[in-house]
Amino acid sequence: MKKFFSNKYICALCAVFCTLLWGTAYPLIKLGYSDMNIVSIPDKLLFAGLRFFIAGIMVFIVCAFVKKNIFAIEKERVPKILIYSLLLTILQYVFNYIGVGNASATKTSVLSSCSAFFGVLLAPLFFKNEKLNGRKIVGCLVGASGIIIVNLGFFEGSFSLVGEGFILLATICSSTGSLYGKIASKGKIFEVTAWQLFIGGIILCIVALPFSASITFTISGAFVLFFLAFVSACAFSIWTALLVYNDAGNIMIYNLLIPVFGTIWSYIILGEKEIFNPLYIVSLILICIGIVLVNMRDKRKIKI
């Protein structure tokens, strides 16, 4: 598995595939909210909780066909799984759903894309073998500029702690959670992914239910929910494997593609017309340049 996921071409394809899947979440969540009469923050947290709970079960089922004793986890790994789930699933989505309700879509799009930037910057703090250099910083800035130019109204308006502040906290939780997941998942990538999704989903549901959260189930809404669960199960499993077998910063930069794919899928699924904005072509080019810069290998070899 290491040889497969560490191949630079397969790695790039898998990373793009994950962001392509995550891009579907933008329009599908909107569709799910509309179909299932989801309005309040508790409703949204319940929806997210069910999504991750089902996603965890999906990964468990896949693991059952490949390995035995999939529920057996070492005692020393349990705290790591809980921290992983707390950061990547629970806190990220609590902060995100509250923040989105108190900030504009433009600011949400720009600030959410910062997870790629944070990931590259924070990786050296988690892993000694990952180094931050000028090329990676320039790559992050070039890629981030691709997001900003299509959201030129980003700097307009005020800053709110429970709005823009919570979205930033959500992106920090996402970045640190992904990096911590590389530590927690070594040796049992898919089992740990299943547990963190499963536990995170249950806790989100527990948090939402006391606040009178409710969902009106429909056939189309249930289909959306299960597809979003599949997106989480598939993308998180592959993404975690990529992080474990590669430099985390080189993988995290691909997060910049999520808003781009989100725009494309929004046009396909919801008919939104933003995709025809010429700036999106410029944005995609800048993001691709940023990804290439971050993933370029130094020609100099270290002699030991």
Residue 3: exposure state from Cβ atoms within 10 A (0-12, 13-18, ≥19)? exposed
Question: How high is the pLDDT of residue 254?
Answer: 87
Q: How far apart are CA 287 and CA 290, in angstroms?
A: 5
CA distances to 19, 147, 150 from 284, rounded to whole Å, are 13, 8, 10
Select the more confidently predicted residue: 11 or 159.
11
| DSSP per-residue letters across 141-210 | HHHHHHHHTT-GGGGSS---IIIIIHHHHHHHHHHHHHHHHHHHTTT-HHHHHHHHHHHHHHHHHHHHGG
H or E element: which one contains 282? helix 279-295
Q: Are 186 and 1 in contact (CB under 8 A)?
A: no
Per-residue CA distances from 141 to 94, 166, 251 (Å)? 28, 22, 16
| pLDDT at position 304 | 28
Q: What is the predicted pLDDT for the residue at 71?
A: 67
Structure tokens at 88: 């990547």
Q: Provide the sign of the torsion angle of the four alpha carbons 150, 152, 157, 159, taken in this order.
A: positive
Q: How many CA atoms lie within 13 A of 131 on its CB side?
A: 6
Query: What average pLDDT does this structure show over 239-251?
Result: 88
Which pLDDT band, with edges at 50, 70 and 90, does 229 fall under? very high
Nearest of 107, 132, 122 to residue 173 by alpha carbon: 122
Residue with the larger pLDDT of the pair 77 and 299:
77
Round to whole Å and give the CA distance between 9 and 112. 26
Please tell me which residue, 107 or 124, carries the higher pLDDT value. 124
Inter-residue contact 24 to 257 (CB < 8 Å)? no
Predicted confidence at residue 16, as pLDDT, reads: 92
Considering Cα of 1, then 122, then 253, then 88, what sign does the dihedral take? positive
- pLDDT-wise least confident of 55-64, 108-117, 135-144, 205-214: 108-117
DSSP 87: I
Where do we find the tokens 């989505």? 93
Res. 274 pLDDT band, cuts 50 70 90? low
pLDDT at position 84 is 92
pLDDT at 114 over 80: no
Range name among 52-56, 157-161, 242-246 with the lowest pLDDT average: 157-161
Amino acid at 179: L
Q: Collapse the DSSP code of 221 into the 3-class scheme (helix H, G, I; strand E, B; otherwise coil) and give the result.
A: helix
Among residues of the chain, what percentage have pLDDT more than 70?
Answer: 86
Digit-coded pLDDT (tens) for 145-183: 777 776 665 555 566 787 778 888 988 898 899 889 888
Mean pLDDT score of the chain:
82
251-279 average pLDDT score? 76
Q: Indicate whether 207 pLDDT > 80.
A: yes
pLDDT exceeds 60 at position 259: yes
Predicted local confidence at residue 299, as pLDDT: 46
- Whether 138 has a pLDDT exceeding 50, the answer reads yes
pLDDT value of position 230? 95
Query: How much is the average pLDDT of 120-126?
Result: 82
**Nearest CA among 146, 117, 167, 142 for reference residue 259:** 146
